[in-house]
Structure 1
């Protein structure tokens, strides 16, 4: 891998591409049966642009042509909504053409259901050959021996990362070994209708402070009656803790990295916004959350703590209009930013796969094949390959250009290093925190009850983390 300065790369890419931005034309097409368990070899052949990808794209090797793969069982799994599922199936159809008679079984679900299914498959020893991994869960699967280490495939060139900056693949490294490759880069964010602020002559910084964020939300509500859609959860909690120089988990993973009083400060902030009427949670909002920003719903800003910049296009589809990105807030007078750049939806290989070479080739294809980005655009974030970023800019939409501009701004010394991946046991431990924050959403807690409730939840969650760290 070649080291480069991330900010310089993104800025240069942005300057080169913004002049050509227009309507979204990422080449995706509808698959007739995206939910079918098998993928048919239909549609036009994938254009071989491997020369554009420095020889690492979809060129078919002679040994591949000589073998019949009709008896090969191969599975790929990921999470996503309808648009991503359709895109990924089309990409897989094109990849299949490299391997005569290979039929790939696809499995996908929404994020929550996906990891429920994946955990069940892992327990049964039946993981897909290639499966998508989230940064927050990678330690859990690596520690259980369920992910193949990829260093040998990278060294052999089976997965070509020659034009990928080291910082963009660091999220797949666990205990010094590479176990997964990100599909792109994004950042946690909120989405809002900028025309609301323009009409009121109010500004909102791209990375506001916590006080600026609440002041703007309050001003908009007082002047228009429009509210912000905000959910307290571990995503927003992490941003708050990072902004005050702490983190969600202790460095050794055996507990939390904050005191109960720190969490009370964050929840009090949210509590006050709810009490004023300026913000609403999913517990109170009666409409479809994906369309909450649509005109007529009286919601002008959405930040649920689990959304990232690559989701802008989907949010705009739901809202029926252009939206603007805003980073999670930072603390006042602090040199520490709560925001960070995150590896997007990492591809990993099952340690028990019988087809690891094909699996490695699929990951390489996703990193280096131009036709992949003709189909999916920036849905999975800004591509990690410099060549693929150069390719994407040719058909970039205005929304994708806004995502790139946002990531470029954050990468230029604004975002701080991403926190270590969540430790083993965090999914169970965090249920105590999430249940508490859900009570806040439903207004089942009074402000004076917060400290006792938070102390209990933190102690219970920390006990789970301590037990997991001890291997019990």
Structure 2
């Protein structure tokens, strides 16, 4: 009996390596617990040291409340996370519970690597519209941890030093943004700039929606026109030409750093484009007052383009033999007020309104500011994004690579837009 089981396991592992993730569910195994009645769950996530400490604290609390469940923690930095997770899935050794983000969740879901969470997690208190971001063809494969908005972070100290008042973010245009930033650079003259470039796909998504277009079409391919993408690349070049941002070389260096080393977080920039849950990191790094602003938009924009996006998701492996306990853990992470108080906005602001009301008063000032900002956007928001198509994880690096070709003068914006669409569509699929 054991020999047959071991042989089947080896065969299954071999098939998984050959077929990537598509057979993960069929190869799942494992019992429901140990000989002492304790169920052991493996949990994986990525992040910095702060997130690691927060996650360990909340998982310790879960174990205190659920003495029959033990959690083994598997932490990784961002650069290695998906390579490790994909390898684990391919070998039939995926963690029971793990984090994904919207660019990769859909890929795992379409390859049968994620469990259906209906009946495993109480979703009655969660934002139903946001839950759709974790669905594929009506099946809930992932639970949002919280929400973010992609925003402009304005460093009030740098603006004051430049003698420039905060702009009115309900009326400013992209030309205004460039001009404000260029004025800061001219007024400071000490290596401080108005802003820095961003090739984030969320930024392009907002820009496209302002022009009535969508990042991904219903066919899973790029839904944006070549003209809109070329205009977006042109604006990046305009920021350099007007000295609103550093030159191409310095911009490339900044593009490889995180929020903590950004210009706005080091008091070397007035504006920066970041996610709202990064406000605390920017404020802590700069020691300055940081104000959240809407993205600029031109007078003919069809909308402001803003949307709430799940910061990340919790999913359960289809291969897990401990789905009930795994669902219990995910439920705790998104529905328990004590857990929410520990996590705060690290994984986005909670969208369980009952939980949020319980912890709101204890949230730090930066989280309160993020809540206030998102509340002010409530009537302006477009729908949350759907699960991204397979290959979406390649888009950020691809957008930046073509952007570098533009700012270093090796491609025109039109050539970069055409090249991006062609290459992107070659790797995207539903």
TM-score relative to the length of structure 1: 0.76
CA apart distance, 1:406: 0.8
Aligned partner of 1:217 among 181, 186, 198: 181
Q: Which residue of 1 aligns with 2:290?
A: 323
1:175 aligns with 2:137: yes
SS in 2 for 1:378: coil
CA–CA separation in structure 1 for the residues paired with 2:127 and 2:312:
17
CA apart distance, 1:111: 3.0
Aligned partner of 1:283 among 243, 252, 257: 252
Q: 1:330, 1:339 within 8 Å by CA — same for their partners in 2?
A: no
Residues 123 and 332 (structure 1 numbering): CA distance in 2 closer, same or farther, change over 3 Å?
Answer: farther
Q: Which residue of 2 aligns with 1:144?
A: 111
1:425 aligns with 2:391: yes
CA–CA separation in structure 2 for the residues paired with 1:286 and 1:386:
36
CA apart distance, 1:98: 3.4
1:121 aligns with 2:88: yes
CA apart distance, 1:334: 2.2
SS in 1 for 2:302: coil
Aligned partner of 1:203 among 137, 150, 166: 166
Q: 2:212, 2:302 within 8 Å by CA — same for their partners in 1?
A: no
The Cα offsets for residues 16-51 of structure 1, whole Å up to 9 and x where unpaired, read as xxxxxxxxxxxxxxxxxxxxxxxxxxxxxxxxxxxx
CA–CA separation in structure 1 for the residues paired with 2:146 and 2:138:
21
CA–CA separation in structure 1 for the residues paired with 2:227 and 2:183:
28
Q: Which moved more, 1:100-109 or 1:186-195?
A: 100-109
1:344 aligns with 2:308: no
CA apart distance, 1:407: 0.8
Q: 1:183, 1:346 within 8 Å by CA — same for their partners in 2?
A: yes
Residue correspondences, number = 389
CA–CA separation in structure 1 for the residues paired with 2:283 and 2:395:
34
Q: 2:279, 2:370 within 8 Å by CA — same for their partners in 1?
A: yes
Residues 206 and 121 (structure 1 numbering): CA distance in 2 closer, same or farther, change over 3 Å?
Answer: farther
Q: 1:122, 1:146 within 8 Å by CA — same for their partners in 2?
A: yes
Q: Which residue of 2 aligns with 1:160?
A: 122
CA–CA separation in structure 1 for the residues paired with 2:129 and 2:264:
37
Residues 264 and 373 (structure 1 numbering): CA distance in 2 closer, same or farther, change over 3 Å?
Answer: same
CA–CA separation in structure 1 for the residues paired with 2:303 and 2:425:
25
Q: Which residue of 1 aligns with 2:424?
A: 461
Q: 1:186, 1:381 within 8 Å by CA — same for their partners in 2?
A: yes
Residues 230 and 452 (structure 1 numbering): CA distance in 2 closer, same or farther, change over 3 Å?
Answer: closer
Q: Which residue of 2 aligns with 1:267?
A: 233
CA apart distance, 1:423: 0.9
The Cα offsets for residues 388-408 of structure 1, whole Å up to 9 and x where unpaired, read as 111212212221110100110
CA apart distance, 1:309: 0.7
Q: 1:292, 1:319 within 8 Å by CA — same for their partners in 2?
A: no
CA apart distance, 1:356: 0.7
Q: Which residue of 1 aligns with 2:299?
A: 332
CA–CA separation in structure 1 for the residues paired with 2:425 and 2:56:
41
Q: Which residue of 1 aligns with 2:410?
A: 445
CA–CA separation in structure 2 for the residues paired with 1:230 and 1:350:
37
Counterpart mapping for 1:303-382 below 5 A:
303=273, 307-382=274-349
CA apart distance, 1:416: 0.9
Q: Which residue of 2 aligns with 1:32?
A: none
Q: Structure 1: where are the runs of 5+ without partners?
A: 1-63, 154-158
TM-score relative to the length of structure 2: 0.83
Q: Which residue of 2 aligns with 1:236?
A: 203
Q: Which residue of 2 aligns with 1:59?
A: none
CA–CA separation in structure 2 for the residues paired with 1:335 and 1:186:
22
Residues 271 and 69 (structure 1 numbering): CA distance in 2 closer, same or farther, change over 3 Å?
Answer: farther
Q: 2:181, 2:245 within 8 Å by CA — same for their partners in 1?
A: yes
Q: Which residue of 1 aligns with 2:374?
A: 407
CA–CA separation in structure 2 for the residues paired with 1:453 and 1:375:
44
Residues 92 and 273 (structure 1 numbering): CA distance in 2 closer, same or farther, change over 3 Å?
Answer: same
CA apart distance, 1:196: 3.3
Q: CA RMSD in A?
A: 2.6
CA–CA separation in structure 2 for the residues paired with 1:453 and 1:373:
43
Residues 380 and 244 (structure 1 numbering): CA distance in 2 closer, same or farther, change over 3 Å?
Answer: same
Residues 178 and 318 (structure 1 numbering): CA distance in 2 closer, same or farther, change over 3 Å?
Answer: same
Q: 1:74, 1:355 within 8 Å by CA — same for their partners in 2?
A: yes
CA–CA separation in structure 2 for the residues paired with 1:215 and 1:105:
52
CA apart distance, 1:432: 4.1
Counterpart mapping for 1:20-35 below 5 A:
none
CA–CA separation in structure 2 for the residues paired with 1:457 and 1:182:
29
Q: 1:338, 1:416 within 8 Å by CA — same for their partners in 2?
A: yes
CA apart distance, 1:270: 0.6
Q: 2:147, 2:308 within 8 Å by CA — same for their partners in 1?
A: yes
